[in-house]
Amino acid sequence: MHNFQAVLETIYHDAINADDKGKVATYIPELAHIDKGNLGIHLRTSDGKEYGVGDYNKPFSIQSISKVLALSKAMSLIGEDIWERIDVEPSGNPFNFLSLLEIENGIPRNPLINSGAIVIADVLISNLKNPKEDFLNYVRELTGDNTINFNKAVAHSEKVTGFKNYAAANLLKSFKNLNNPVEDVLDFYFHQCSIEMTCSQLSKAFYLFANKGKCLKNKLHITEQQVKRINALMLTCGFYDEAGEFAFEVGLPGKSGVGGGIVALLPEKFVISTWSPGLNIKGNSKLGMLALEQFTTKTKLSIF
Amino acid sequence: MHNFQAVLETIYHDAINADDKGKVATYIPELAHIDKGNLGIHLRTSDGKEYGVGDYNKPFSIQSISKVLALSKAMSLIGEDIWERIDVEPSGNPFNFLSLLEIENGIPRNPLINSGAIVIADVLISNLKNPKEDFLNYVRELTGDNTINFNKAVAHSEKVTGFKNYAAANLLKSFKNLNNPVEDVLDFYFHQCSIEMTCSQLSKAFYLFANKGKCLKNKLHITEQQVKRINALMLTCGFYDEAGEFAFEVGLPGKSGVGGGIVALLPEKFVISTWSPGLNIKGNSKLGMLALEQFTTKTKLSIF
Amino acid sequence: MHNFQAVLETIYHDAINADDKGKVATYIPELAHIDKGNLGIHLRTSDGKEYGVGDYNKPFSIQSISKVLALSKAMSLIGEDIWERIDVEPSGNPFNFLSLLEIENGIPRNPLINSGAIVIADVLISNLKNPKEDFLNYVRELTGDNTINFNKAVAHSEKVTGFKNYAAANLLKSFKNLNNPVEDVLDFYFHQCSIEMTCSQLSKAFYLFANKGKCLKNKLHITEQQVKRINALMLTCGFYDEAGEFAFEVGLPGKSGVGGGIVALLPEKFVISTWSPGLNIKGNSKLGMLALEQFTTKTKLSIF
Amino acid sequence: MHNFQAVLETIYHDAINADDKGKVATYIPELAHIDKGNLGIHLRTSDGKEYGVGDYNKPFSIQSISKVLALSKAMSLIGEDIWERIDVEPSGNPFNFLSLLEIENGIPRNPLINSGAIVIADVLISNLKNPKEDFLNYVRELTGDNTINFNKAVAHSEKVTGFKNYAAANLLKSFKNLNNPVEDVLDFYFHQCSIEMTCSQLSKAFYLFANKGKCLKNKLHITEQQVKRINALMLTCGFYDEAGEFAFEVGLPGKSGVGGGIVALLPEKFVISTWSPGLNIKGNSKLGMLALEQFTTKTKLSIF
């Protein structure tokens, strides 16, 4: 039996004193000014116990972490039909993100890279009555917290600077892999990414992936089989081109975002969330990666 | 001394009876319904003599042929500064047009592929007072014909279906190689491509490239050095991924468009224009290529 | 508590009756004539119990499965220095295996693709006294079985037809990522791949990866940390461009070979090996994949 | 009427005083030690007059220039069948020379890049009785000079260091686009490249490309149509990824080699050869490019 609170405090202490805290992402101007001295860690075990240190109750922009929640919502709506429009393999290509899409005829490599997540956004728009509200409500329901919201300023910031996402969406459209107008899809996508959550909210929101598809309220959102698919995708594709490194260093399915958040989980055991806005060269939170690596090393709780 | 009229009539006759007349481009809906039985050929020698057969006085959408005229206008405005933003080498990559752009950090391979022409459009917008009007007037001046105009329906047709061009423009923007808004640049670009001309007008418009930079009215628009650059670019990059084939089969600098037009020239000798809307698999006019090949074979007038 | 023998018999029965048994690999002529009606499954639990059905005692060519054993031997010899010459990320590129190697300056994406395994072979040649004999003895020691051997005919068959491997090795050499002569490295590599084992031998050989680095005889070959690295690599990169699919369908670290073998494991629980020579379109054993998918579905024993 | 001798002397003087003379290629060790102060220029007009300055009678390694002579020999032997195995388009891909070959199923982009020239070498081996002797005799016959020879030391130097060529040849072999053993093809290829000639010999050897296929002795080796093809290929593909630049700066069909030689020609007018071993960043002779650019600028003799 682990004394989780003590473990979190130790790793927090080690991480916060690191000389190199990474670099805050600047390509979304609205996110560029956040203090990289922030570090929060939050652990929620499957039996409902919670442990937190540092800034685990400060909200941050979840960014790409939202892709996992969007995927689960889309799977709950249209099931396996998704895989006619998106593949499930790692992309392995940091340096030319549109090339593969072009060569592979507009079929994104997986739903956790931008082009794949844009297709998922398209699925949600086609299948939700009020896409933005309904998706937000889904996240609120998973978390049991109605205070969660979009950050309109961040969404707008991406809208006026997100040229690579416009390039990807238009390329998808040219391959007829978007059914809705580019503007509508990206408006949804930028809102989805702008959702703000705290570490402790994230740990709750991702509980269904550690609990066979059932959320905190014991409601079944996706099947056990779908959970397995999503966890496999997080493990193989959840960390940009550092997925292999994360699988080794941490050994848990997880997802990072350029806002500095990371969430990871061990099925039937726990969900752990970290936030620190300084990123390493691959775009993953520097202190977050360090903390998670230390956590699985110290507790020996990983899938391997 | 060639009897050019007789030569044109012979090659017209041979070409018009070809069983396979190619396929009309369908990706611009407005252009999809043009009869591929059309074939026009027009020759204008440097001493001012003109020869025409078939539909050489029917206007058609010049499309990519406009890239050469836009380039010459841009060079007359800002000179060699253009080459800081565009390279001058063949692209050699039909199958993944955005990949090279991505790998090469937003510097298009040359000004005659779409991404390069979009940068040129950006240059023109920045340097012309009334970009669309001024460019149209440039083309009218070169041709000595004020009836030349945009086809607004074609420009609009591209605007609502040109997703690959939106992808390219946004990718350029993400690399900071567009100074104006994507919408403005593409609005100009789609208008530029929608210009309608006849073969005989085209032969006049391209006269400056066979005449050391001076147009019909003997006005110097670009330097002799700039003409050499443009002709070299037409020869190496003027025919999508069939540039090498065209250089061999025809052996003249030239440019094709998906509207079915082709214009080619022998410096100080002549300009020849053809139009037939059926395209071969590489996107160049099937009968036009055939006619030009026959012309240089029969007359032995090529640069090689 | 599972009745493993009954489970294996059920899934054997289902798989052997599948209409489509895949296609035997023909690119190694020596392997082209093996009957695809063969199917063996063998399970060895960490407490030493063994269960087998079908052809689990027939030897077959382990091919790429050997890459994992070569990697573990290399890590035991030079430790983490390996990662200066090889990366640990999925390659995601089935269609152009040399392209990434070229773009990434001769650093293979991971040690389980051919180019990476060739670098590992180079490491072993540099660090073993009698490379082929020593490596064979390592495999024999892990398995506790001295009858295991190379198949010289298969090694020779690859030597005279393995042009892509020669291309990869020479490209590595051009980037100075091979220290030994190409011929020597490939001679070792082709021998390594030609090793013949049965399913039951494979289950024993891979026991150290389910047992924190200790083999059957309780000898520590690699550290627990190194085991974690190897398991993470098998999960993310063990199945060519079907790694994502395998992670989902089976949910275990594993490795396949074109000889039709697959070995997979659940740390501290079991190793399972299958063999059936008919391959699916991605190069993995068709019936083997089916059997493993059924096994983890029926027993719910996976990492997710 | 130009005073060619005076022109050559002027451009020689300007070039030899350039501060930056480029860098001698080091990847063929045998060539690394040549003094980059060497500069020779030789012009031979179609009416047989010759003009030379500097080191135009010193022999140097023609390297890739030999590809044009090998191509003409191959075309004279098997005609247009060559184009079933090689394309005729610019490659546009300096940075990953094997990638295109892989994606395009082993069909090299053109016969003037290494992979294409290796296929040509394979054609020659299959169609010549004594390949090396016969090819050498062809070059001697074109030049009217029996002293021309291979440099065995240079051929051997490439053999033991030419790993990229081995990679390309093996990749071609894997696509079944080589009929002879890799070793035999490369042995021929390395010998072909090692031929040593002077500028004045080169000007004679290339005379047939300026003379409709007839060599100095008025013997027809290839058809006028084949000459046109070869000249078009030199113009579009003769200068690695600087073909577009050369077409503009010089405006002549030509071919360079890493030994520092360049040969260019104006059909029915002249052949001009230069040699200076210092290379620019694209692998073409720095002073040679400068001299040719000056020559066509001063004389206004180019194809454009």
The more confident residue out of A27 and C154 is C154
Helix (H, G, I), strand (E, B) or coil at B13: helix
What pLDDT is attached to residue A96? Answer: 57
What pLDDT is attached to residue D98? Answer: 80
| Tokens standing for residue B104 | 């090469």
CA-based nearest distance A12→chain B, Å: 37
What pLDDT is attached to residue B98? Answer: 80
- Following CA atoms A248, A251, A252, A256 in sequence, which dihedral angle do they give, to the nearest 10 degrees? -30
Residue of D159, D163, D182 best to disrupt the C interface, most CBs of C under 10 A: D163
Nearest to D96 among C97, C103, C173 (CB): C103
Nearest to B237 among D242, D244, D302 (CB): D244
C185 found inside a domain: yes
Q: How far is residue A77's CA from residue A72's CA, in Å, rounded to a whole number?
A: 9
Tell me if chain B has a CB within 8 Å of the CB of D304: yes
| C-alpha closest to that of A245 among C248, C268, C209, C235 | C235
3-state SS, chain D, equals CCCHHHHHHHHHHHHHCCCCCCEECCCCHHHCCCCCCCCEEEEEECCCCEEEEECCCCCEECHHHHHHHHHHHHHHHHHHHHHHCCCCCCCCCCCCHHHHHHHCCCCCCCCCCHHHHHHHHHHHHHHCCCHHHHHHHHHHHHHCCCCCECCHHHHHHHHHHCHHHHHHHHHHHHCCCCCCCHHHHHHHHHHHHHCEECHHHHHHHCHHHHCCCECCCCCECCCHHHHHHHHHHHHHHCCHHHHHHHHHHCCCCEEECCCCEEEEEECCCEEEEEECCEECCCCCEHHHHHHHHHHHHHHCCCCC
Q: Would you say C138 is a known binding-site residue?
A: no
Amino acid at A244: G
Q: How far is residue C225's CA from residue A297's CA, in Å, rounded to a whole number?
A: 9
Q: How far is residue C221's CA from residue C230's CA, in Å, rounded to a whole number?
A: 13
Q: Identify all chain C residues contacting D103, using CB atoms and an 8 Å cutoff.
A: 95-96, 99
Q: List the 155-184 stretch of D: residues with Cβ below 8 A of C.
A: 163-164, 166-168, 170-171, 173-174, 182
Residue in A200, A240, A255, A273 annotated catalytic: A240
- pLDDT tens string, chain D, 304 residues long: the values are 679 999 999 999 999 999 999 999 887 777 888 999 999 999 999 999 999 999 999 999 999 999 999 999 999 999 999 999 999 988 766 555 787 788 788 999 999 999 999 999 999 999 999 999 999 999 999 999 999 999 999 999 999 999 999 999 999 999 999 999 999 999 999 999 999 999 999 999 999 999 999 999 999 999 998 999 999 999 989 987 788 888 888 889 999 999 999 999 999 999 999 999 999 998 899 999 999 999 998 998 888 7
Q: Inspect the interface and report whether the beta carbons of C167 and D174 lie closer than 8 Å.
A: yes
Q: How far is residue B199's CA from residue B55's CA, in Å, rounded to a whole number?
A: 8
Q: Identify all chain A residues contacting C245, using CB atoms and an 8 Å cutoff.
A: 88-89
What are B23's strand-pairing partners? B279
CA-based nearest distance B265→chain D, Å: 10
What pLDDT is attached to residue A94? Answer: 56
DSSP-assigned letters across all residues of B28-87: SGGGTT--TT--EEEEEETTS-EEEEESTTS-EE-GGGHHHHHHHHHHHHHGGGGGGT--
What pLDDT is attached to residue A300? Answer: 87
Nearest CA in chain D to B109: D92
A263 found inside a domain: yes
Say whether A271 is catalytic: no
Rounded average pLDDT over A185-198: 98
Say whether D258 is catalytic: yes
| Tokens standing for residue A245 | 């490194």
CA-based nearest distance B242→chain D, Å: 7
Q: Inspect the interface and report whether the beta carbons of B166 and A170 lie closer than 8 Å.
A: yes
Q: Identify all chain C residues contacting A304, using CB atoms and an 8 Å cutoff.
A: 227-228, 231-232, 235, 253, 267, 303
| C-alpha closest to that of D68 among D227, D217, D224, D197 | D227
Which positions of B make up the binding site?
A: 64, 114, 158, 165, 189, 240, 258
Q: Identify all chain D residues contacting B90, using CB atoms and an 8 Å cutoff.
A: 89-90, 92, 236, 243-244
The Cβ of residue C125 has, within 10 Å, a number of other Cβ atoms equal to 20
Residue B155 φ/ψ, nearest 5 degrees? -60, -40
- pLDDT tens string, chain B, 304 residues long: the values are 679 999 999 999 999 999 999 999 887 777 888 999 999 999 999 999 999 999 999 999 999 999 999 999 999 999 999 999 999 988 766 555 787 788 788 999 999 999 999 999 999 999 999 999 999 999 999 999 999 999 999 999 999 999 999 999 999 999 999 999 999 999 999 999 999 999 999 999 999 999 999 999 999 999 998 999 999 999 989 987 788 888 888 889 999 999 999 999 999 999 999 999 999 998 899 999 999 999 998 998 888 7
Give the pLDDT confidence of C62-95 residue by residue, as tens digits. 999 999 999 999 999 999 999 999 999 887 665 5
Tell me if chain D has a CB within 8 Å of the CB of B248: yes
Sheet holding D270-275, edge to edge: D50-54, D40-45, D270-275, D261-266, D254-256
What pLDDT is attached to residue D285? Answer: 95
Residue C291 φ/ψ, nearest 5 degrees? -65, -45
B304 found inside a domain: no
Which residues of B are known to be catalytic? Answer: 64, 67, 189, 240, 258
Give me the CATH number covering residue C209.
3.40.710.10
- What end-to-end distance do the CA atoms of chain B give, in Å? 19
Give the pLDDT confidence of C224-246 residue by residue, as tens digits. 989 999 999 999 899 877 888 88
Range of the domain at C23: 4-299
Q: List the 10-49 stretch of C: residues with Cβ below 8 A of A.
A: none
Rounded average pLDDT over A152-166: 94
Q: How far is residue B237's CA from residue B92's CA, in Å, rounded to a whole number?
A: 9
| Tokens standing for residue C128 | 């073993």
Q: Inspect the interface and report whether the beta carbons of D171 and C182 lie closer than 8 Å.
A: no
C304 found inside a domain: no
Q: Identify all chain D residues contacting B235, using CB atoms and an 8 Å cutoff.
A: 235-236, 247, 304
What pLDDT is attached to residue C70? Answer: 98
The domain total for chain A is 1
How many interface pairs between C and D have CB atoms less than 8 angstroms apart? 61
Pairing state between β B254-256 and A278-279: unpaired
| Tokens standing for residue D107 | 């069909």
The answer to whether the CB of A168 falls within 8 A of the CB of A86 is no
- Using CA atoms, how far residue D64 sits from A196, A241, B139, D194, in Å, is 61, 39, 44, 9
Q: Identify all chain C residues contacting D185, using CB atoms and an 8 Å cutoff.
A: none
CA-based nearest distance A232→chain C, Å: 5
Q: Would you say D51 is a known binding-site residue?
A: no
Helix (H, G, I), strand (E, B) or coil at C51: strand
A304 found inside a domain: no
Tell me if chain B has a CB within 8 Å of the CB of D235: yes
| C-alpha closest to that of C204 among C146, C252, C257, C128 | C146
What pTM was estimated for this model as a whole?
A: 0.92
CA D287 to chain centre: 17
Tell me if chain B has a CB within 8 Å of the CB of D245: yes
Q: Inspect the interface and report whether the beta carbons of B243 and D304 lie closer than 8 Å.
A: no
What count of Cα atoms within 13 Å lies in the side-chain half-sphere of residue A141? Answer: 15
Helix D66-78, helix D114-127: angle, nearest 10: 40
**Taking all residues of chain C, what is their mean pLDDT, rounded to a whole number?**
93
Amino acid at D287: L
Neighbours of chain D (3+ CB pairs under 8 A): B, C
Rounded average pLDDT over C274-278: 97
Q: Inspect the interface and report whether the beta carbons of A92 and C91 lie closer than 8 Å.
A: yes
The answer to whether the CB of A121 falls within 8 A of the CB of A183 is no
- Percentage of chain A exceeding pLDDT 70: 98
Rounded average pLDDT over A157-181: 95
| C-alpha closest to that of D259 among D28, D18, D17, D42 | D28
D304 found inside a domain: no
Beta strands (DSSP E) in chain A are 23-24, 40-45, 50-54, 60-61, 196-197, 254-256, 261-266, 270-275, 278-279
What pLDDT is attached to residue D96? Answer: 57
D225 found inside a domain: yes
What pLDDT is attached to residue B207? Answer: 98
The more confident residue out of A301 and C261 is C261
Q: Inspect the interface and report whether the beta carbons of A88 and C248 lie closer than 8 Å.
A: yes
Residue of B71, B80, B89 best to disrupt the D interface, most CBs of D under 10 A: B89
Q: How far is residue B118's CA from residue B108's CA, in Å, rounded to a whole number?
A: 9
Element spanning A204, H or E: helix A199-205
Residue in D7, D53, D64, D73 annotated catalytic: D64
- Using CA atoms, how far residue A240 sits from A109, A235, A247, D245, in Å, is 12, 11, 12, 38
What pLDDT is attached to residue B138? Answer: 98
| Tokens standing for residue B52 | 């025409």
What pLDDT is attached to residue C114? Answer: 94
Q: List the 59-118 stretch of A: residues with Cβ below 8 A of C.
A: 87-93, 95, 100, 103, 109-110
CA-based nearest distance C264→chain A, Å: 12
Nearest to D88 among B91, B93, B248 (CB): B248
| Tokens standing for residue D50 | 């010759």
Say whether C72 is catalytic: no
